[in-house]
Amino acid sequence: MDKKTSLKWALCITIIFVFMTIVWTNPREYFSSNSYIRDNVIIGNAECSIHSKHKNISPITNSKHFMVSAFKDHRINGKTRIISILNRDHLQPLFCIFCYGKNNYSTPAQIDMHSDHFGFRYVTTDVLCQNKPECNATHVTLSVLPNMLASHADFLPIRNQKRQEEAFPYEFTICISNLFGTYNNVLQFAQTMEVYKLLGIQRVVIYNTSCGPDLEKVLRYYSEEGTLEIVQWPIDQFLTPSKGWNFKEHGGDIHYYGQLTTLNECIYRNMYTSRYVLLNDIDEIIMPYQHANLHLLMEDLQHRHPDVGVFLIENHIFPKTQFDNSGRFNRTEWKKVPGINILEHIYREPDRKNVFNPTKIIANPRQVVQTSVHSVLKNYGGTFKVPPDVCRIVHVRVPLQGRLTKEQLFVDKKLWEYEKILLPNVDNVLNKSGIFN
């Protein structure tokens, strides 16, 4: 052998030796059939929660994207789903960095944009991360690089660590997306909350960007009472949110203050806390017309449609411009309370030919993957459209068919059935939250 050949051999043997040492000390990393383990870069050592400064919307460092919440999804082998808001003009590969104890590791992210963005630049997106089951990661963050410095990280806690298929703390939770502007419709809100309770709803979740001064007091009251969970949603600090649903008409960065993001966040947030989740607006009441409450309605519907997890409920408009003639609920107590008195609006608009009534949703959250406002985008199991005579939404608002006279509208006094309990309950709330003073 000449000198050159022996040098080559020596190099070769050294490389083989180094490789075998690595494999010997860390065999699972190299011979696992799971590709995600091969793809991992182990960059461990940092206490996860120290790096968590999360406040519901977090910019992804060095990108135009945002992350919102992380959930373990037991339906897809415990992968982590990060509800995010991505800028469609700047799509790029992302990496999930998982943290467990003092260690971290990263995996490439799978990006699943929701199909509905209504032309806006920012779109609700699920970022899916394959985690190592043996590591029990408690926190995760997204990065444009596979290894990031700790100082840049904002780790999200991974929620829904434990799967639960029965015995939920609540039977019904309502998800109300984005409160914004100076919305101060106190009377309608208090009345609506009290009707919800009589229908058997135990919990309401509201995403708050901003609201009026009196509504603020009532929100605080319900929050202290435990009925209301307020999720702060400072989207206006990060983006120019649109006040409308369509980019061409309304402009802005994102549909309705990020409504699609909050609705999806709410589904996952309540996946194991509530048997059913209702997705409706703050001025809408999903009202059973043939059952005494929502429990009886859903028991009946679910019995008839055991495989269905998504129930669509038609919206019906009760114009706030048409008042009940009798003046029965024109009460002096409520004269100075800002907002609409829904008990005075008993006239319902008829269906229009060739116009569909939009729907809102009652869902088993464990069957929903992605939702939109009026229907779900991806789900397991079936969908059922509930006939309006069984259940419909009572929606007191500006008319859609403003030309119709009282005679052309239906009289619908469903809400009056709750009068006896409703009036004292609403008074009590207004009194205790300081609206009467």
Which positions touch ligand NAG (CB under 6 A)?
43-46, 51, 97, 104, 134, 136, 148-150, 153, 208, 210-211, 216, 219-220, 230, 234, 323, 327, 330, 427, 431, 436
C-beta closer to ligand NAG: residue 118 or 180: 180
Beta bridge partners of 67: 58, 84
Residue 9 Cβ vs ligand NAG, minimum distance, rounded to whole Å: 36
Side-chain-facing half-sphere of 432: CA atoms under 13 Å? 14
Give the separation between CA 310 and CA 332, rounded to whole angstroms.
42
CA triplet 359, 363, 369: central angle to 5 degrees? 105
Match 């269906």 to its residue by tokens.
351
Nearest to 361 by CA among 274, 262, 279, 270: 279
Nearer to ligand NAG, 111 or 230 (CB): 230
Nearer to ligand NAG, 168 or 329 (CB): 329
Contacts of 295 (CB under 8 A, 6+ apart): 171, 172, 200
Non-local CB neighbours of 46 within 8 Å, separated by 6+ positions: 99, 102, 103, 104, 150, 153
> Would you tell me how many other CB atoms lie within 10 Å of the CB of residue 234?
12
Q: Of the two residues 115 and 136, which places its CB atom closer to ligand NAG in the complex?
A: 136
3-state secondary structure of 419: helix
3-state helix, strand, coil in the chain (%, to 5): 30, 30, 40
The token pair at 228 is: 């209301």
Burial of 27 (0-12, 13-18, 19+ CB in 10 A): exposed
Q: Smallest distance, Å, CB 437 to ligand NAG?
A: 9
Distance in Å, CB of 121 to ligand NAG, minimum: 24
Nearest to 323 by CA among 429, 423, 227, 399: 399
220/305 with CB nearer ligand NAG: 220
| Nearest distance, CB of residue 208 and ligand NAG, angstroms | 4
Residue 128 contacts residue 117 (beta carbons within 8 Å)? no
Judged by beta carbon, residue 45 or residue 240, the one nearer ligand NAG is 45
Q: Which is nearer to ligand NAG, 51 or 117 (CB)?
A: 51
The least distance separating ligand NAG from the CB of residue 325, rounded to whole angstroms, comes to: 8
Question: Can you tell me whether residue 3 is helix, strand or coil?
Answer: helix
Between residues 53 and 248, which has the closer beta carbon with respect to ligand NAG?
53
Smallest distance from ligand NAG to CB 179, Å: 7
Cβ at position 134, least distance to ligand NAG in Å: 6
Q: Provide the minimum distance between the beta carbon of 180 and ligand NAG in the complex, in angstroms, as a whole number.
A: 9
> Which two structure tokens, joined as six digits, stand for 27?
């065999």
Structure tokens at 347: 């006239």
Shortest reach from residue 387's CB to ligand NAG, in Å: 33
Residue closer to ligand NAG by CB (options 210, 227) is: 210
Instruction: Please state the closest distance from residue 43 (CB atom) to ligand NAG, in A.
Output: 4
Q: Which is nearer to ligand NAG, 88 or 220 (CB)?
A: 220
On whether the CB atoms of residues 235 and 259 are closer than 8 A, the answer is: no
Burial class (CB in 10 A: 0-12, 13-18, 19+), 338: middle
